[in-house]
Structure 1
Amino acid sequence: MNIQNNGEGKLPDQLSSYWLKSTNLPSFPQIKQDLNVDVAIIGGGITGITTAYLLVKEGYQVTVIEASTILNGTTGHTTAKVTAQHGLIYDELIQHFGEEKARLYYEANKEAAEQIAEIIKLHGIDCDYKTEDAYVYTNSNDYVQNLKKEYEAYKRLGIKGDFVDSIPLDLGNIKGAVVMKNQAQFHPLQYLSELVDFIKDSGGEIYEQSVATHMDIEDKPIVHLKNGAKITAQHVISATHFPFHDNRGYFARLHPERSYVVAAKPEKSFSGGMYINAEKPTRSIRSVKVEGEEILLFSGDGHKTGQGEPEKEHYESLEKFAKEEFGAKEILYRWSAQDLVTEDKLPFIGCNNADDKRVLVATGYRKWGMTTSMVAAQLMKDILIGKENRYEEIFSPSRFTADPGIKTIVKQNMNVAANLISGKFERPDKEMKDIKEGEGAVVSIKGGRAGAYKTMDGQLYVVDTTCTHMGCEVNWNSADQTWDCPCHGSRFSIEGDVIEGPAERPLKKIDPNSIDYTTS
């Protein structure tokens, strides 16, 4: 589960990420004093840590602040494929942006993957780095033509790949696949923990449980923290999901999606490679060594945050796939993550306002954060040191492309409006007396809407379900035991504390002792 925004949320015990369970990460203090630094990086995920690593090598005085604990958000809940194969994307990029920009997107991610490999070699990092071919496959005749178009795009862009009629795995009646050669996978936290050590040893500072609330931009940016401390910096980099300083309406230009992972030991042998299907629901597969045994990660079943079927059904769907296709008998780990998608599917990386180097942002990775984080770190470093970077224009947050941008913005905001309205008029069919131990649900209290969760020992938590960001009504996430907003993806704990932005304030708490819920 993704904890990104303010560090107050808690993970349910039954969910765990293998990456986090198998890595001993250092802990860092909360920032309590005012600081004056060259660069303040907000967000201690892969983008923030990688950017800090590159900047301390350039001699910058860098401070990273993380709202919860470092690498515990999407970075700690990824599938960790180091690849430029981001689904069926290149034919689409050519159609919307032309061949030149599509090639730049590929080359940026290819170079990023190579740079990760170089860092691993330079520092001798033991992180289970392994070269693998990456496949996009289909079991449906309806997608064969899409795959062939993607292969044609590979040829036009000079991507080393092929169209094949079969794949190394036995996954039913395969109709075809495109393969991108010589991609990679690794253990992301074992890799990043070495970068964290390098940052510390080079004089960089890292703080945890330090929540940035807002920023004043005068001659220099001043970041204000929840506990009253301030950071004055020459440059501020927002490496969170929704940029914490949103003066460009990012909440209307991005939409959040959740996806799920289960780790299981297969009965069938695994022949190597990394796989993702072309159709929906998504099924992504890669291997990982756990205590010397080969375990498979099955991921996918993505959906817009706070919308769709009960979240626990997505885990069940992946578990069913693992059992039917690979004979998996035991689920060892399961976790979920959240990521943001831009209107044109290209990330926002660079100056928040054109040519103003005081504030930079990196967001909208569309679930492909391993290489994109390195693209972002390298690009933002080059901007700060004044080095030309040929990828700056295509990733600029200031860009606006009418096709497909405006169509997607209109569609997304219609979706937000629909959820806002439907939530306000929804009449819950449950009452407080109906809530069982271990269950959460939207309930009716004297004609109003509230959210209730009862622990296994009978303790009751009740919150106002109105999201504190823009007033949409949150829904219960049965898998992660959170309250999720269907409009912009804010997420709250059972107690109402913010787990994920853009919301900054907790849900209003309702004292259950003040409610006669047996008659409400």
Structure 2
Amino acid sequence: MDLLSGQPYWFYKNGALNNYPSISEDLSEEVVIMGGGITGALMAWYLSQAGVPVVVVEKRHIGLGSTSGSTALLQYEIDTHLTKLTELRGEKEAVTAYRLCLEAIYKLQDIAAEVGEEVNFSLRKSVYYASKQDELPELRKEYEARKRHGINVEWWDQDTLRKHFPHIKKSGAILSHDAAQVDTYRLAHCLFQACIKKGARVYDTIQVDEVVHQKEGVLLRLSNGKKIKTRQLIIACGYESQNYLSQTVTRLHSTYAIISKPIPQAGPLWYENALVWESARPYLYMRTTEDQRILIGGKDEAFQSAVKRDKLLKSKSWQLAQAARRLFPDLPFVSDYEWCGTFAETQDGLPYIGGVAEHPNTYFALGFGGNGILFSVIAAEIIRDLILKKKNPHAAIFGFDRA
């Protein structure tokens, strides 16, 4: 399926970082991971670190699905507010989900440091402002809930917000001290290269035509006639994983992003180069890059087809550029790259992680939503524990049988 169109900045910036072979013979391995994006890379990393031998297969080139189009704002905030998630799942599970995402930021920081500084991981603050006056009470309630549960946040009133962002003429915002950003495409490649050094085998441009469940494992039939036998299969193919499920767990959306040319300014482009986003749904979101570019995304639409999504790219890109100029009129925003993609969300905003009865010896790592990278860290830990026959105390929060 066509996941992405346009000029995804991270691929244009990095190019084809590494070469991976195709499969020329039948294989057998303890664990096979379907999916060569950031979710599959993190899954391979955690398993390789635990000494579990893995084979990874990807039907595209490594990282050229949704990963190359990721805007990589790493935020503990789930697309569903903590207050709303508490109503849906109860306070204990909602708070645990938020805390796991927050912890995942710093786990990813440690992973990035181990695989190399070139992934451009950097901690940031995050500013989440009320788009409309009537959304302010709900945002204030959300701030109080986060503060009550020990999340490091501050409340910015209108004057404080104007002080730091003079042209964001809104009534209030939550400042979060825990956020980050990264070059996701490069990170995925670095993770796979590190896994290969530990004995993992990574293949791309190979299509899995059939998944056959057997008594003691899973057989994958490939498009080139070869086969892979495995005791346990992990499906980490993003929203395309829905093709292997009879249970519908996703809603698809089209999203758009653009990035400016480098802005010749010393120092931060705005307050501490924080991540910036808004309470409206769909929401605008912004970040900077290490070479002083502005990345802005949003203007989401319900997904109908890749053709209809792509037809809107020019108009959506223009709207995003106008929004950037309106919010930061003192910065010379000149659009450089623009792209669009398809992403999935769930009803409660949480990922789906674990197994289903219809697919024995198979685990799904479905890190949907606005913070899918952090969800993928959580998924990698849970599935690693399941494979190692260890009890994970958080697995049930993200299971397929949740209410």
Would you say same fold, with TM above 0.5? yes
Whole-angstrom CA distance in 1 between matches of 2:264 and 2:83: 37
Residue from 161, 177, 182 that aligns with 1:186: 182
Q: Are residues 1:270 and 2:244 paired?
A: no
Between stretches 236-245 and 192-201, larger displacement belongs to: 236-245
Equivalent AA in structure 2 for residue 206 of structure 1: V
Change (3 A) 1:277 1:228: same
Q: Are residues 1:207 and 2:203 paired?
A: yes
Whole-angstrom CA distance in 1 between matches of 2:10 and 2:93: 34
Tell me, which stretches of 5 or more residues in structure 1 are unaligned?
Answer: 5-10, 402-520
Equivalent AA in structure 1 for residue 324 of structure 2: A
Q: Which residue of 2 aligns with 1:368?
A: 371
Q: Return the TM-score normalized by structure 2.
A: 0.89
Please state how far the C-alpha of 1:261 moved relative to its aligned partner.
Answer: 0.8
| 1:204-259 C-alpha deviation (Å, 9 max, x unpaired) | 11111111122111121111222222111011000012455856424x32111121
Equivalent AA in structure 2 for residue 232 of structure 1: K
Residue from 317, 320, 323 that aligns with 1:321: 323
Correspondence list, 1:41-440, <5 A: 41-87=33-79, 89-165=81-157, 166-167=160-161, 168-219=164-215, 220-242=217-239, 244=241, 246=243, 248-250=245-247, 252-265=248-261, 269-271=269-271, 272-290=273-291, 294-306=292-304, 310-312=311-313, 313-327=315-329, 328-353=332-357, 358-363=361-366, 365-399=368-402, 401=403
Q: Return the TM-score normalized by structure 1.
A: 0.70
Q: Secondary structure at the match of 2:118?
A: coil
Would you say the 8 A contact 1:44–1:64 is kept in 2? yes
Q: Secondary structure at the match of 1:120?
A: helix
| 1:70-125 C-alpha deviation (Å, 9 max, x unpaired) | 11111111111222023452111111111100111012212211111111233443
Equivalent AA in structure 1 for residue 207 of structure 2: V
Whole-angstrom CA distance in 1 between matches of 2:336 and 2:393: 43
Whole-angstrom CA distance in 2 between matches of 1:246 and 1:18: 28
Q: When the two structures are aligned, how many residues end up with a matched partner?
A: 386
**Looking at CA atoms only, which structure, 1 or 2, has the larger radius of gyration?**
1
Whole-angstrom CA distance in 2 between matches of 1:253 and 1:395: 12
Whole-angstrom CA distance in 2 between matches of 1:110 and 1:179: 14
Structure 1: 4+ residue segments shifted above 3 A: 242-248, 265-269, 307-310
Structure ranking higher in helix proportion: 2
Would you say the 8 A contact 2:156–2:175 is kept in 1? yes
Between stretches 84-93 and 380-389, larger displacement belongs to: 84-93
Equivalent AA in structure 1 for residue 322 of structure 2: K
Whole-angstrom CA distance in 1 between matches of 2:234 and 2:387: 10
Q: Secondary structure at the match of 1:375?
A: helix
Please state how far the C-alpha of 1:357 moved relative to its aligned partner.
Answer: 6.5
Please state how far the C-alpha of 1:171 moved relative to its aligned partner.
Answer: 3.5
| 1:345-382 C-alpha deviation (Å, 9 max, x unpaired) | 2111111339x861000225113112111111111111
Whole-angstrom CA distance in 2 between matches of 1:348 and 1:279: 25
Q: Which residue of 2 aligns with 1:407?
A: none
Q: Secondary structure at the match of 1:217?
A: strand
Change (3 A) 1:244 1:85: closer
Please state how far the C-alpha of 1:41 moved relative to its aligned partner.
Answer: 0.5
Q: Secondary structure at the match of 1:102?
A: helix
Whole-angstrom CA distance in 2 between matches of 1:361 and 1:128: 28
Tell me, which stretches of 5 or more residues in structure 2 are unaligned?
Answer: none
Change (3 A) 1:360 1:202: same
Whole-angstrom CA distance in 2 between matches of 1:148 and 1:133: 18
